[in-house]
Amino acid sequence: MLAEAAGLLANRAAGSSVFAARLQVAQAFAHIKPARVVPLLQRSAGQLERVLAAAADVDPFSSRSFEDGS
């Protein structure tokens, strides 16, 4: 069932609900089949990188807070 859930999320358009669902599936896989977690987290990390890059483009001033660790 988890493999089916991961498959359904693999090609979904990026959005907050898909992001949250991927993290939930990854958490479930962590207990059963840890090797399956890495690809799911890589997709989520890629999505998060794109969101942060877009935020930096929209408002470069506020994105500096990520640079100094605050």
Every domain of the chain and the residues it spans: 2-63
DSSP secondary structure letter of residue 69: T
pLDDT tens-digit profile, the chain (70 residues): 666 666 556 665 667 787 788 888 888 888 888 888 888 888 788 888 888 888 888 876 665 555 655 5
Q: Please, what is the angle between helix 37-58 and helix 16-32, to 10°?
A: 150
Q: Determine the pLDDT at residue 2.
A: 65
Q: Determine the pLDDT at residue 64.
A: 59
Closest-CA residue to 40 (of 68, 53, 48): 48
With beta carbons less than 8 A apart as the criterion, state whether 47 and 32 touch: no
Lookup: tokens for 70: 């605050």
With beta carbons less than 8 A apart as the criterion, state whether 23 and 56 touch: no
